[in-house]
Structure 1
Amino acid sequence: MTAPTRRHALRATLAAAALLALHGTAAAQEPAWPTKPIRVIVTFPPGGSSDAIVRAIGPHVSAKLGQPLVIENRPGAGGNIGLAAVAKAEPDGHTLGLGAAGGLSANVSLYPQMPYDPVKDFKPVSLVAMIPFVLVGHPSLGARTQAELIALAKREPAKVSLGHGGNGTAMHLTASLFEQMAGVKITQIAYRGSGPAAVDALAGQIPLAVTDLPAALQHVRAGKLIAYSVTSAKRVPALPDVPTVAEAGLPGYESVGWFGIVAPAATPDAIVNKLNAAIVDALNDPAIQASVRNIGVEPAPSTPKAFGDYIRSETVKWGQVIRNAGIKLE
């Protein structure tokens, strides 16, 4: 072998060794994850749509990551109890939180003290689902459209009261935003969930209610409740003939409940990106989409950055609504 040939071979050997070393360093820096089941703290009681969402995507995500998702329900204080536990958890990707609009955006303006900062204490993983609400009324109220309802509320405010799913809930804030944009004052009545509010509206005990779709859908289809409008930016497939609040006369109106997955703030980006990829893949699966829509919610996968931006924008939006309405929770 000539000297130039030997030098060429040596350089090739050194380059190969450097490349192997680089790959070895990258592999060493890549965290070994997941190494055990992934705990998902759900901030609502068992049996609700939040549980159903995690159970719908769970098998798909587990198959992608090689570990099961284990649900742990920690309800209370509008989501603050469960999310506080997530914020304090080890940031190793084995504890996640399924939070909602309240715990991740509105609560900072509702509660005088918070056990966490929704922006600083979490790393967004993905938005998961959005829940449109519907404004329904008993036929005896006499208003057939949203415009007629607003006119009635301005003309005879004492005649119009509205039930919602509880103080500080997304449905409460949805009703408050409607009041502010319509320029009306409606007596609001807090229930323990949208189901009881829909039942009382159905019985004529209250003239109006803001509920989720599952609570009102069968009664609207049966003609026992009037659906004035849906609160999302677009019409919903389950009620294609019902206009949005914006279409029915309040341009720019939009209010939806939503769920998203977050991790403790110091969770490595590599883990967050793997989680996001698995969750987004699950939510893009047609069978899972059908399953999620069947419980009255719309799949809404996102990037971590897009979800973080959404949390910040929702915090600003609902903070203004809450201040205007003077809503406070203890």
Structure 2
Amino acid sequence: MQRRSFLAASAAAFTAPAVLAQSWQPEQPIRWIVPYPPGGGTDVIARTLAEAMRPALGQQILVDNRPGAATNIGGEQTAHAKPDGYTVLSADNAILAFNEHLFTKLPFNPEKDFAYLGAIGRFPLALVVKPDFPAQNLREFVAYVKAHPGQVNYASPGNGSPHHLAMELFKNRTGTFITHIPYRGMAPALQDVMGGQVPCMFLDLAGGLPVMQSGKVRVLAIGSAKRAPTLPNVPTLAEAGVPGAEVYAFQGVLGPAGLPENIVTRFNSELNKALASPAVQKRAADFGMEVLPGTPAAFKAMAREEAKRWGPIIKAAGVKLD
């Protein structure tokens, strides 16, 4: 779904009847599950949003980190929670689009077992190489890899991550063979690319923008439709000669299926207001995140479109996590 659709959806969200939007007032703290360890981009964004939403909701929003099983632990806990508005989840590509293709069996159905509360935003992913890599641009990188089949490795934060599958899409579009080296998280993967132990990876702007700007890695291309304002001299993949390879890490908020409509509407309204707040806007700019306010229906439509898009890519790559 294109950004213009989200802008239109956002306008619809803000014109919801005030009585309906204000009809739910939480009476106890809200648990916000983050399916990753503390300190990462998803965790920081969730905490920033929780703080921005707290005054209007009148209750604490407590972030609960529940990492593991490619985010399925947090997803399962949310899907099986009581649908009363007191459990929500930061969900990204994994739960929203990837895992149904990566796992033979999931402990939840991503289309039916969640209430979609609203999108948060998306982070473009960029192809980066170690500082002394011989290729100076994307065309030279592709030529180098093809001239050294099976000799180039790439790092990722883990199997099934957006970064892993972004490279599989890139390999598919360029006809290259690059060997995957999965790590346990972004920090060690990025450290080894900066140190030269692994030559390349796809890196999201949320976790890697300062490193990109400092020159500790060289950025060859970015996977967004347009150039990133924070990296104006970096071409998109399409500009650099690889069309049809847009890659983002995107996220939004889910609750358990069966949430009453007044809770969904109120949470969505406060989420959209928080996304427009100065604190969240600053954090988004720091992370290179494109904020995506909008309706629950728009968020779900985007997620299901992404699931359909990535299914054939994951199948072609032969990636399975069970």
Report the Cα distance in structure 1 between the residues aligned to 2:258 and 2:84, rounded to whole angstroms.
Answer: 8
Matches within 5 A, 1:1-330: 32-213=24-205, 215-330=207-322
Q: Deviations over 1:181-232 (max 9, x none)?
A: 1111111111122222222122221221222235544444343422101122
Q: Deviations over 1:145-187 (max 9, x none)?
A: 1111112222222332211111111110111011111111111
Q: What amino acid does structure 1 have at the position aligned with 2:240?
A: A
Residue segments in structure 2 that go unaligned for 5+ positions in a row: 1-18
Aligned CA distance change for structure 1 residues 59 and 204 (closer, same or farther; 3 Å) = closer
Higher RCO (C-alpha 8 Å, min separation 6): 2
Alignment size in residue pairs: 303
Contact preservation (8 Å) 2:24, 2:263: no
Contact preservation (8 Å) 2:41, 2:206: no
- In the other structure, the counterpart of 1:10 is none
Report the Cα distance in structure 2 between the residues aligned to 1:109 and 1:187, rounded to whole angstroms.
Answer: 21
Please report how far the alpha carbon of residue 104 of structure 1 lies from its aligned counterpart in structure 2 after TM superposition. 1.8
Q: Give the number of the structure whose alpha-carbon radius of gyration is greater.
A: 1
Classify the secondary structure of the residue corresponding to 2:88: strand
Contact preservation (8 Å) 1:194, 1:212: no
Report the Cα distance in structure 2 between the residues aligned to 1:88 and 1:222, rounded to whole angstroms.
Answer: 44
Q: What amino acid does structure 2 have at the position aligned with 1:304?
A: P
Contact preservation (8 Å) 1:293, 1:299: no
Contact preservation (8 Å) 1:37, 1:67: yes
Q: What amino acid does structure 2 have at the position aligned with 1:252?
A: G
Contact preservation (8 Å) 2:173, 2:244: no
Q: What amino acid does structure 2 have at the position aligned with 1:305?
A: A
Following TM superposition, the consecutive aligned residue runs of length 4 or more in structure 1 with deviations greater than 6 angstroms are: none
Q: What amino acid does structure 1 have at the position aligned with 2:50?
A: G
Contact preservation (8 Å) 2:133, 2:199: yes
Classify the secondary structure of the residue corresponding to 2:85: coil
Contact preservation (8 Å) 1:41, 1:96: yes
Task: State, as a whole percentage, how many aligned pairs show the same letter.
Answer: 39
- Aligned alpha-carbon RMSD (Å): 2.0
Please report how far the alpha carbon of residue 113 of structure 1 lies from its aligned counterpart in structure 2 after TM superposition. 1.2
Q: What amino acid does structure 2 have at the position aligned with 1:143?
A: A
Aligned CA distance change for structure 1 residues 324 and 296 (closer, same or farther; 3 Å) = same
- In the other structure, the counterpart of 2:8 is none
Give TM-score, length-normalised by structure 1: 0.86
Classify the secondary structure of the residue corresponding to 1:163: strand
Give TM-score, length-normalised by structure 2: 0.88
Please report how far the alpha carbon of residue 105 of structure 1 lies from its aligned counterpart in structure 2 after TM superposition. 1.4
Aligned CA distance change for structure 1 residues 228 and 87 (closer, same or farther; 3 Å) = same
The worse-fitting range, judged by mean Cα deviation, of 146-155 and 207-216 is 207-216
Residue segments in structure 1 that go unaligned for 5+ positions in a row: 1-26
